[in-house]
Structure 1
Amino acid sequence: MPWYALYTESRQEKKVTARLEKLGIEVYCPLIIQERQWSDRKKRVEVPLLPSYVFVKLESHKRELVFQIPGIVRYLYWLGQPAIIKDSEIETLQKWLMDKVASFEVIGIQPGAEYEIPSGPFMGQKGIVEKVNKNQVTLILEQLGVKIILKTAFP
């Protein structure tokens, strides 16, 4: 059975995931923990890595079942067909998110330089340094089409 990407309504990823699981459909919504600032406090919250997307694994003739669930907009299409995501890509994403430990040093890194991530979920990926602060580096990973912020373990 292949994996498919579903586009959801804004901020409905967790609800859609729970509803699909109740239907017995295998679903994956990659989540990360972010620190959010409110006017009176900071809080660590679990948010989707890919806003408005969840992945479902089901047989192609059962694809229409998902539209019984409120909050689902459509499938992600590629060349006129629902995009099929390889098992290996989902496994890689899961592996990256399970590996929480990442460390690096911000010494001698200049904007515009190429930097290879030495450890953590993106280990071995090369990116272009966009910005360097006291305890973080903003990298553009062109191969993956993302911008990430690496933070040191000790501020």
Structure 2
Amino acid sequence: MNWYVVYTKPKWEKKVAEQLDKVGVECYCPLIIKEKQWSDRKKKVEVPLFNSYVFVKLEDADRNLVFQSPGVVRYLFWLSKPAIVRDSEINTIKEWLEKPSAKDITMSPYTVGDKIKLESGPFLNQEAVVKEVNSKQCVLILESLGCVLKIDI
């Protein structure tokens, strides 16, 4: 069985994960807690880490099961094939979310285009490409996870 990425309607990630779980599809919607500001109050809310994406683990033959949920739009494709996410990448996301207060990311003088291997923090041993470095932050591209990591210095 492989992990696939399902693209959902905006703000439907949690609903889709719940509906897919009810029909027996193993799914994962990573959530983080953010503080939202309204005009009269602040509140901590649980929001998806990846907007409009839910990970599903199914056999290739069962891929159409996800369309039973009205919030599912389509699968995410990579090189004209449904994108497959490795188990190790899903585990890395889960481990990172278990330690949201990790502050042990270190910074060395890198230049744009350098390929590095992260030696600490939640993305330990992940390979990244340096996209941007300035006095306030460093932007890294984690190609294996398909995401951009911004680290405040």
Are positions 1:139 and 2:132 aligned together? Answer: no
Q: Residue by residue, what CA displacement relative to the aligned partner does 1:122-149 show, whole Å, maximum 9, x if unpaired?
A: 45777654453xxxxx431133541435
> Contact conserved, 1:102 with 1:119, CA < 8 A, in 2?
no
Cα RMSD between the aligned structures? 2.9
Distance of aligned partners of 1:44 and 1:102 in 2 relative to their CA distance in 1, 3 Å threshold: same
Structure 2, gaps ≥5 residues long: 111-116
> For 1:1-155, what aligned pairs fall within 5 Å after superposition?
1-103=1-103, 114=110, 120-123=121-124, 128-130=132-134, 132=136, 138-144=137-143, 145-148=147-150, 150=152
> Contact conserved, 2:104 with 2:121, CA < 8 A, in 1?
no
Task: Identify the range of structure 1 (71-80 vs 95-104) with the bigger mean alpha-carbon deviation.
Answer: 95-104
Q: State how far apart, in whole Å, the 2-side matches of 1:141 and 1:86 are.
A: 20
Q: CA deviation at 1:101?
A: 2.5
SS in 2 for 1:20: helix
Q: State how far apart, in whole Å, the 2-side matches of 1:86 and 1:118 are.
A: 21
- Greater C-alpha radius of gyration: 1
> Contact conserved, 1:21 with 1:27, CA < 8 A, in 2?
yes
Report how many aligned residue pairs link the two structures. 142
Q: Give the letter for the 1:99 counterpart.
A: K
SS in 2 for 1:96: helix
Structure 1, gaps ≥5 residues long: 133-137
Identity %: 53
Distance of aligned partners of 1:118 and 1:46 in 2 relative to their CA distance in 1, 3 Å threshold: farther
Q: Give the letter for the 1:142 counterpart.
A: I
Q: State how far apart, in whole Å, the 2-side matches of 1:80 and 1:124 are.
A: 29
> Contact conserved, 1:102 with 1:121, CA < 8 A, in 2?
yes
- TM-score with structure 2 setting the length: 0.78
Partner of 1:135: none
Q: Give the letter for the 1:146 counterpart.
A: V
Q: State how far apart, in whole Å, the 1-side matches of 2:81 and 2:118 are.
A: 35
Q: CA deviation at 1:120?
A: 3.7
> Contact conserved, 2:92 with 2:123, CA < 8 A, in 1?
no
Q: Residue by residue, what CA displacement relative to the aligned partner does 1:29-58 show, whole Å, maximum 9, x if unpaired?
A: 011111111111111111111100000001
Task: Identify the range of structure 1 (20-29 vs 138-147) with the bigger mean alpha-carbon deviation.
Answer: 138-147
